[in-house]
Structure 1
Amino acid sequence: MTREVGRSPDRERLELALQIAGLGEFEWDLSRDVLIISDRLSAITGLPAGEIPAEGGAAFDRFIHPDDREALAAEQKQHLQDGDSYEGRYRMIRPDDGRVQWMRTAAKIVRDEAGQAIRVCGVIEDVSRSRREEDQRMQLMAELDHRVKNVLAAVQALAQQTAKRTTSLDAFLQTFGGRLKAMASANELLTAARWRGAAIDHLAAAELGAIAPGQTSWEGPELFLTPRAANALSLALHELATNAVKYGALSVETGHVNLRWNARPGGGFELTWTESGGPVVASPARRGFGSTLLEQVTGRELNGDTQVDYRPAGVAVRLRAGPQAMADRPEVMPEAPVARVTETVPTSRGPASLKGARVLIVEDAVLLALELETGLSEAGAEVIGPAYELEEAMALLDQPIDAAVLDANLNGHSVTPVAEVLHQRRIPFVFATGYGETGGAPGGFEAPVIRKPYDVTQVAAAVAELLGNR
C-alpha cells in the first residue's frame, strides 16, 4: 500500500478499517447546513459525493422510505435536542436507481460550550443482506411453528380416531405406533428435501422396504408430491401394508404386493396396489379407521379418489390424485431409503426378558427417558441412569453395565464418547435416535438403530437380542 503525500498513518488505518467494515462516513455541519458525503458513502447510498445543501436534514430525509420517514425524523429531532449520539435502522430509496436498501446509521452529535448541536458525524452501513436473513429466519420460525402445530393436531386426531376403533390398550399402542412411524418417515423425507416435496418411490421404499423382503415390489416414474400429499400417501401405504401383513398377501410366505404408479395426462398420478398369492380375501365385516383413511381422508388430501376392491385373489386398490398433489423436483434430493434404517423390532416370541440385566439409559428427553426406564424395568432390567447429559453419562460408565440404550444427540453433543468407551469394553448398545441416517448406525458403530418415534418394546427386544448373542 503506497502512502499518499500528507496522509497520516492514523488516517490511512481509519480509512482502511471503514473500507473493510463496509461503512461510509458523513458529516452534517449544522452551522452551515451542509452535508459532506464521502466517496464510500456515495457508493453505498447513491447520494452524490462531496458537499451538498442539507436543507435542515430534508436533503437526506426525502430518500427515506415513506413508511420509515416520520419515525426516523422524530427520533433524529429528539437526539439533536438532548442526545449525544444515536443509531437507527431504516429503509432508503437510492436516488440513482430506485432500489430499496436497509441502512444502519450510527452518529455522534458535537455540541458547543452552550450545549447547542453544531455538527453530526457518523457512518452508514448497508444492512440489507442481514435484514433479509433476519426476515427469512422469522419466516422460517413462523413456518416451523405452523408445521409443528399441524403435526401435533394430526397426531392428536390420529390418536383419537385410533382409540375409537381399538378394543384394547395393546392394540391401540401397536396400531397408533405404526401410523406415527409412517408420519415420521414421510416427515424425514420432506425434511431432507427442505420441505419442497417427496418422491413416490422414496415413500414406497420407506414403507415397504423393511417388511417381507422379496415379497414387495414397486415401480413408476420419478414423481414428486407436496408435503401434504406425501404425508397422506405415506399413511395410506402404511395402512395397506399393515393389513397385508395381518390378513393379506404378506401374512404368508407365498404372497406378494406390487405397487405401480403413473402420471395422469391432465396432471396428478394414478397408483395401484395389487396383492396376490395370499389367503382368499373377503370384504371386512366392519369398517375401521384404516378404511376411512384410505377412502375419504387420503382421497381428499390428494384431491382425487380411492377405490378398494376385495377380490378373492387379493386386495386391489386404485388411488388417483389430482394435479394439486404434485410438486416440482426439489433442488436438494435425499437418498432413496433402502429399508428405513437398520431397526430391531419385537419378534413373535413374546415379551423380551431382561431379568437381572444392568442397562444404561442415555436420553436427553425427560419423557422418553422415563418411558424407557419404565419399559426396561418392567422387562426385568436394573436401570442405570437415566443420564440426560453427556457428562452424566460419562460419569456412570464406572458402574457395572451389561448393555446400554443411547440417544445419538444429547442437547447438541454427540454421544460418540460414550459409545467409544462401551465399544472398548465390549458392552453392547442400541442407538435410539430421531436422526434419519440411512447409512447405518451413527459414528459407524456396528449397533442396532431404532428410530424415533418407537415402541419401548422394540428397545427391550433389541437389548435382549444383544445380550442373547453375547
Structure 2
Amino acid sequence: MTRHDLARPTDRSRLERAVQAAGLGEFEWDLARDVIHVSPRMAAITGLPEGEHSAQGGEVLDAYVHPDDVGLLRADRAANLAQGDGFDLELRYLHPKEPGQRWIRIAGIIVRDAAGKARTVTGVAEDITARKTEEERRQQLMIELDHRVKNVLAAVQSLSSQTAKQTTSLEAFLQAFAGRLKAMASANELLTAARWRGAAIDHLAAAELGAIAPGQTRWQGPELFLTPRAANALALALHELAANAAKYGALSNEAGRVDVRWERLADGGFELVWTESGGPRVTAPKTRGFGSTLLQQVTGRELNGGASVEYRPSGVRATLRAGAAALAPRPDTVPQAPAARAPEAAAPAGRAASLKGARVLIVEDAVLLALELETGLSEAGAEVIGPAYELEEAMALLDRPIDAAVLDANLNGQSVTPVAEALAARHVPFVFATGYGEAGGGPGGFDAPVIRKPYDVTQVAAAVAELLATA
C-alpha cells in the first residue's frame, strides 16, 4: 500500500466529513431488533442518549416533539413504513435538556427486503431553528409592510380628497397635494433609515426646512425621538407651516426668518414653537382651509396633545404640544441627520419649462410614472425616446440621437448604472428621478441632479431644461 493510498479518505470518512460540515446528526433504526443507533451529533441535536438503545417502535422521538406536531409525525411514519421509500419532515421540537422550542428537520430513506418489508431506516436530523426564525421574521415583516402600505395609501387617499375639497383649481390642488405628499415621503425616508423605530425631531426639521431658504430658517432643541405615527404627523405640520410661510409669511421675502425650537415637558412630552419674523404684516385668515384643520386637529390628535396658531402682526407663531406617548425610546444607533439638499428644480413662475426640439430618453420601470413623464415632457416640447421599462430596452435605445435623459435608479432590481455610464461617456446630461433616499449627489456617485419621488413632472422638465441650458 502506498503513502498516497494511506492518505486517501475512504467513502465512509468522506461521508462523515460531509455530514459534519452540513451540521447533520445521523441515526439508523433497525426495525427487526427495534433499536436505534444515535450518533454524537444526533444526540446533541435531539437530546437522545448517544449510542444504541430501544427505538420504542419508532416513537423514541415522539415524547419531545411539540404536541401539535406529534400527530403529523406518527401519520407520516406509518404511511412511509407501509409503502414509502423515504421521508422529509420539519417539526417543532422540545429539547429535553435545553429550554425553549426548536425546529428540527428529519429526513431519511427506508430499506426493504425482497418481499418489500421495511428493514432499516437510515436518516439525518438537522436543527433548523435559525432558518425557521428568519422565515417567521420575514413573514411578520411582510404582514407589517402590507399593513403600513395600506395605511399610507389610505392616508394619501384622505389627503387627496381633503385637499381637493379645499382648492378651487387643478393647479392649486396639484401644488398643495404634491407638497403634502413630499412631506410624507420625507418622513417615510427617515423612518425607513431607522427601520421604522421612529425619527428624531431635528431630522424632520432638517428634511422640511433644510432645502427652503437655508439662510432664513433655524431649528434647535434636545434630541427627541418620535414614534412613526408622531413623526408623520409632525412632518405634515412642519410642511403646512413652511408652505404658508413661503406663500404669505416670513419666507415670502428675503428679510424674513423662521425659528423652530422645542423642549421636553415635565409630563414626558414635548412642546415645539414655530416663530416667524421679518415678513409681511400678518392678519388672521377669513376662512379656514384644510392646512389649518390638519395642523390644529389632526396633528394635535396624532401627537396626543394639541396645536394652536397665533396670527400676530409681526409673524405667525404656532405651538405644538405632544404627550409622552408620541416619544419613542432612543435606538442604540440613530441614523445621521440628512445632509442639506439643494432645492429641487421647479418650473419658473408663470410658465412651464420649454424643451422644444430636445430629444429626451425616459428610463422608468413604473408604467404609470413613465406615461406621466412622457406626457409632461411632450407637452413641454420634447421628443420623447422610449419610455424604456427594462435595462435591456434602455441599452438598445442608446444608439439613437439623445440630448438628455431621465433615469430611474433601479429598474426591476437592476441598476441603471450601465445606461448612466454610456450616457456620461457620450457627454449626454441626465437627471435621476428616484425613490431611493441617498443624500447629496446622484446614485452611483454620478454628478447628476436628483429628483426624489414623489415628484411633479414640471420639476423634471425644469431640471432637464437647466441641464440642456448649461450643457
1:274 aligned residue: 275
Q: Is the 8 A contact 2:201 2:223 kept in 1?
A: yes
1:401 aligned residue: 402
Question: How do residues 44-193 of structure 1 correspond to structure 2 at under 5 angstroms?
Answer: 44-193=45-194
Question: How do residues 343-354 of structure 1 correspond to structure 2 at under 5 angstroms?
Answer: 343-348=344-349, 350-354=351-355
Distance 2:15 2:24 in 1: 11
Cα 1:98–1:447 change in 2 (3 A) is: closer
Q: Which has the higher mean CA deviation after the structures are superposed, 180-189 or 389-398? A: 389-398
Q: Which has the higher mean CA deviation after the structures are superposed, 392-401 or 246-255? A: 392-401
1:229 aligned residue: 230
Cα 1:25–1:405 change in 2 (3 A) is: same
Q: Is the 8 A contact 2:362 2:407 kept in 1?
A: yes
Distance 1:45 1:428 in 2: 63
Q: Deviations over 1:301-359 (max 9, x none)?
A: 11000011111111101101011111122344322123346632223252111111111
Distance 2:363 2:343 in 1: 20
Q: Is the 8 A contact 1:27 1:119 kept in 2?
A: yes
Q: Is the 8 A contact 2:23 2:126 kept in 1?
A: yes
Q: Is the 8 A contact 1:182 1:238 kept in 2?
A: yes
The alpha-carbon deviation at position 432 of structure 1 amounts to 0.6
Q: Is the 8 A contact 1:341 1:437 kept in 2?
A: no
SS in 2 for 1:214: helix
Q: Deviations over 1:415-442 (max 9, x none)?
A: 1222222222222111111111102111
Q: Which has the higher mean CA deviation after the structures are superposed, 437-446 or 427-436? A: 437-446
The alpha-carbon deviation at position 22 of structure 1 amounts to 0.5
2:466 aligned residue: 465
Cα 1:403–1:94 change in 2 (3 A) is: same
SS in 2 for 1:319: strand
Q: Is the 8 A contact 1:28 1:35 kept in 2?
A: yes
Distance 1:55 1:131 in 2: 29
Distance 2:442 2:139 in 1: 34
Cα 1:66–1:360 change in 2 (3 A) is: same
Distance 2:301 2:455 in 1: 29
2:258 aligned residue: 257
SS in 2 for 1:204: helix
1:389 aligns with 2:414: no
Question: How do residues 200-349 of structure 1 correspond to structure 2 at under 5 angstroms?
Answer: 200-340=201-341, 343-348=344-349
Distance 1:370 1:425 in 2: 26
The alpha-carbon deviation at position 186 of structure 1 amounts to 0.3
Cα 1:8–1:452 change in 2 (3 A) is: closer
Distance 1:376 1:220 in 2: 43
The alpha-carbon deviation at position 103 of structure 1 amounts to 0.4
Question: Which residue identity lines up with residue 87 of structure 1 in the other structure?
Answer: D
Distance 1:282 1:394 in 2: 57
SS in 2 for 1:439: coil
Distance 2:462 2:100 in 1: 63
Question: Which residue identity lines up with residue 280 of structure 1 in the other structure?
Answer: R
Q: Is the 8 A contact 1:103 1:124 kept in 2?
A: yes
SS in 2 for 1:106: strand
Distance 1:154 1:269 in 2: 25
SS in 2 for 1:218: strand
Distance 1:314 1:282 in 2: 9
Distance 2:123 2:215 in 1: 73
Q: Is the 8 A contact 2:64 2:95 kept in 1?
A: yes
Q: Is the 8 A contact 2:299 2:307 kept in 1?
A: yes
Cα 1:119–1:406 change in 2 (3 A) is: same
1:22 aligns with 2:23: yes
Q: Is the 8 A contact 1:208 1:339 kept in 2?
A: no
Structure 1 runs of 4+ off > 3 angstroms?
none
Q: Which has the higher mean CA deviation after the structures are superposed, 409-418 or 149-158? A: 409-418
Q: Is the 8 A contact 1:342 1:449 kept in 2?
A: no
Cα 1:391–1:8 change in 2 (3 A) is: closer
The alpha-carbon deviation at position 402 of structure 1 amounts to 1.2
Q: Is the 8 A contact 2:212 2:343 kept in 1?
A: no
Q: Deviations over 1:90-149 (max 9, x none)?
A: 011112234421000001112222222222111000000000011111011111111111
Question: Which residue identity lines up with residue 436 of structure 1 in the other structure?
Answer: G
* Aligned alpha-carbon RMSD (Å): 1.7
2:453 aligned residue: 452
SS in 2 for 1:337: coil
Q: Is the 8 A contact 1:341 1:436 kept in 2?
A: no
% identity of equivalent residues = 70
Q: Is the 8 A contact 1:193 1:331 kept in 2?
A: no
Q: Is the 8 A contact 1:341 1:440 kept in 2?
A: no
2:33 aligned residue: 32
Cα 1:349–1:338 change in 2 (3 A) is: farther
Q: Deviations over 1:211-245 (max 9, x none)?
A: 01211000011110011110000000000000000
The alpha-carbon deviation at position 469 of structure 1 amounts to 2.0
Q: Which has the higher mean CA deviation after the structures are superposed, 257-266 or 90-99? A: 90-99
The alpha-carbon deviation at position 68 of structure 1 amounts to 0.7
Cα 1:8–1:383 change in 2 (3 A) is: closer
Q: Which has the higher mean CA deviation after the structures are superposed, 91-100 or 185-194? A: 91-100
Distance 1:444 1:92 in 2: 50
> Which segments of 5 or more consecutive residues in structure 1 lack a partner in the other structure?
none
Cα 1:78–1:451 change in 2 (3 A) is: same
Distance 2:364 2:202 in 1: 33
Q: Is the 8 A contact 1:342 1:448 kept in 2?
A: no
Question: Which residue identity lines up with residue 212 of structure 1 in the other structure?
Answer: A
Q: Deviations over 1:157-193 (max 9, x none)?
A: 1100000100011110010000000000000001011
Question: Which residue identity lines up with residue 85 of structure 1 in the other structure?
Answer: G
Distance 1:75 1:453 in 2: 53
Q: Is the 8 A contact 2:429 2:468 kept in 1?
A: yes
Count of matched residue positions in the alignment of Structure 1 and Structure 2: 467
Distance 1:318 1:422 in 2: 50
SS in 2 for 1:221: coil
Q: Is the 8 A contact 2:340 2:440 kept in 1?
A: no
Distance 2:99 2:354 in 1: 74
Cα 1:23–1:59 change in 2 (3 A) is: same
